[in-house]
Amino acid sequence: MNRTVKIFDTTLRDGEQSPGSSMNLKEKLEMARQLEQLGVDIIEAGFPMASPEDFEAVQAVARQIKTCQVAALCRATQADIDRAAQALRDAASPRLHMFIATSPIHMEYKLRMSPQEVLQRIESSVRYARGLCEDVQFCAEDASRSDREFLLKALQIAAQAGAGTLNITDTVGYAAPEEIFELVSYLREHLPQNVTLSIHCHNDLGCAVANTLAALRAGALQAECTVNGIGERAGNTSLEEVVMALHTRRETYHIDTNIRTRQLYRTSKLLSTITGVPVPRNKPIVGANAFAHESGIHQHGVMNNRSTYEILSPEEVGIYQNRMVLGKHSGRHALEERLFEMGYQISSRHLDEVFERFKLLADRKRTITDRDIEALVGSSATPIREAYRLKTFVVNSGSVISATAVVCLEMENGEDKEHVARGDGPIDAAFKAIDRIVKKGYSLENYSIQSVTEGEDALGEVVVRLKTGDGVITGRGLSTDIIEASIKAYVNAVNKAIIQQQEI
Ligand code: KIV
Ligand code: ZN
């Protein structure tokens, strides 16, 4: 008989803590809706005490998400617990996730508390949290480097005080799979059977997925993961890798999850679109090369029988064949049907926007593939209002002249504004010309470009991250021309920043 384990997604909390992965409120909500579609059991939406923005994000996710639980992180203090409980007040199924460190090094140098004080704090704060929320998860931070008997004591106290889930962490990514297997087996044996053991791993030594699988084999019933494995330092356990390992090796693990695996690729793509952090090409399950066969011997084998070199099919994770079926003459309905076939459920407003982008692309590209369509769908967090829209641009560059760009933007009131600038290359010059038009003093933090499809008319996707004073904003631009894609991405980020500032 297979066991079903819960997938606790912490992309919006631990994942978002990683540099370059911050998301604004709309983006977090869009990501949360996709996680709900994916079928995760619990979404950890943030750490409400960390900042007012985190509080607001947890509250908004808690109000919106209905079919999975929403969790908020808090330290073991009354103020933190109160704030997290307040943020979760409107959740259909809230969970308070409370943590305190149990390793000697953390207790002495970070908490400056004695082991006895830590045990007392666990008891009083879990009891307090249970007074505010039925479902309390207690987390022993740095559990893998804690004294085993002390860790057991801490978890026993938390369970007695009312925590239904106990989270065992490898906070610094130090543990080996054999150690995690032994630790979880030991805890499973000594803790009451009615508590759920959870595992939370970091990837500093590249063992997060292996450690998570080891814990599940040893009896943990919840795995904490992030999409694309994003997270502090080397990241957290990658959700798609754990899920597909369990799914592909069912006969070995005898463990099921509630994840709709066909939503995995879309979820990964959405996160990378929103944050602008590309997925490495060789990333298992969702990387561009995960199902590509380059060597002749492999290609020949796969043509004869896919299972020669493929242990799972791209379709299982929602990657469909790159069919070229739509073109200039395809209508809105054909696009809608194709999106439906590809598993997208988008609002009619978002469909209108996608169709507009589709028509513009179809004028320049003979055939539009599924990859192009995915890129066109992008993220619905793209602003509907555009303070500026690209009208025309001209760039001049070469090895013997410095680059110049003339950019003309149309403003909301229909007025055109044009500026010229010199720069270190055509893209820099174009961005400087835009800066002169919008006069906001934003600065470019990051720029990335990748091609969406192959071939000479490949669609290029540019993601820029702008520092605005209120935070970092991501902008995206698509075009078969990389300078145009870059300008569009920059203007998109400027529009988002302006709208966000008006909303504050
Ligand atoms: O890595 C860790 O220990 C954590 C806990 C606070 C859950 O993220
Ligand atoms: Zn963590």
What is the DSSP track for 274-334? HH--PPPTT-TTTSTTTT---SHHHHHHHHH-GGGT-SS-GGGGT-----EEE-TT--HHH
Q: Where are the beta strands (DSSP E) in 171-288?
A: 196-201, 222-225, 255-256
Residue 169 Cβ contacting ligand 1 at under 6 Å? yes
The confidence score (pLDDT) of residue 382 equals: 56
232-243 pLDDT, tens digit per residue, is: 999 999 999 999
Helix (H) or strand (E) holding 153, with range, is: helix 148-161
Give the chain's end-to-end CA distance (angstroms, integer): 53
63-85 pLDDT, tens digit per residue, is: 999 999 999 999 999 999 999 99
Nearest partner of 165 among 116, 111, 129, judged by Cα = 129
Count other C-beta atoms under 10 Å from residue 108's C-beta: 13
The answer to whether the CB of 132 falls within 8 A of the CB of 106 is: no
CATH 3.20.20.70 occupies which residues in the chain? 3-275
Q: Which residue has the higher pLDDT, 398 or 106?
A: 106
CA 5 to chain centroid, in Å, comes to 21
In angstroms, the CA 393 to CA 444 distance is: 20
* Protein residues within 5 Å, CB atom, of ion ligand 2: 14
Question: Nearest ligand, CA of residue 97?
Answer: 1
**If you measure from the C-alpha of residue 427 to the centroid of ligand 2, how many angstroms do you get, rounded to a whole number?**
38
Residue 140 Cβ contacting ligand 1 at under 6 Å? no
**If you measure from the C-alpha of residue 285 to the centroid of ligand 1, how many angstroms do you get, rounded to a whole number?**
25
Atom 1 in ligand 1: residue holding the nearest Cα: 171
Residue 17 Cβ contacting ligand 1 at under 6 Å? no
Nearest partner of 62 among 29, 38, 39, 30, judged by Cα = 29
Residue 493 Cβ contacting ligand 1 at under 6 Å? no
Confidence check: pLDDT of 354 > 80: yes
Confidence check: pLDDT of 370 > 60: yes
In angstroms, the CA 414 to CA 226 distance is: 43
The answer to whether the CB of 371 falls within 8 A of the CB of 404 is: no
Q: Which residue has the higher pLDDT, 338 or 254?
A: 254
DSSP 226: B
Is domain 3-275 classified as CATH 3.20.20.70? yes
Look over the chain and give the mean of its residue pLDDT values, rounded to a whole number: 92
165-182 pLDDT, tens digit per residue, is: 999 999 999 999 999 999
Confidence check: pLDDT of 381 > 60: no
Task: Tell me what the mean pLDDT of segment 419-440 comes to.
Answer: 95
Confidence check: pLDDT of 265 > 80: yes
CATH code of 388-503, in short, is 3.30.160.270
The strand pairing partners of 467, in sequence order, are 443, 472
Cβ-based neighbours of 39, under 8 Å, separated by 6 or more? 7, 68, 257, 258, 259, 260, 263
Question: Nearest ligand, CA of residue 101?
Answer: 1
The answer to whether the CB of 485 falls within 8 A of the CB of 450 is: no
Nearest partner of 70 among 80, 59, 78, 54, judged by Cα = 59
Which atom of ligand 1 lies nearest, measured to the CA of 142?
3
Residue 47 Cβ contacting ligand 1 at under 6 Å? no
The confidence score (pLDDT) of residue 329 equals: 83
**Ligand 1 pocket check: which of 8, 106, 139 to mutate, most ligand atoms within 8 Å of Cβ?**
139
The confidence score (pLDDT) of residue 1 equals: 85
CA distance readout (Å), 187 to 84, 148, 175? 28, 9, 16
**If you measure from the C-alpha of residue 308 to the centroid of ligand 2, how many angstroms do you get, rounded to a whole number?**
38
Residue 95 Cβ contacting ligand 1 at under 6 Å? no
The confidence score (pLDDT) of residue 303 equals: 75
Residue 141 Cβ contacting ligand 1 at under 6 Å? yes
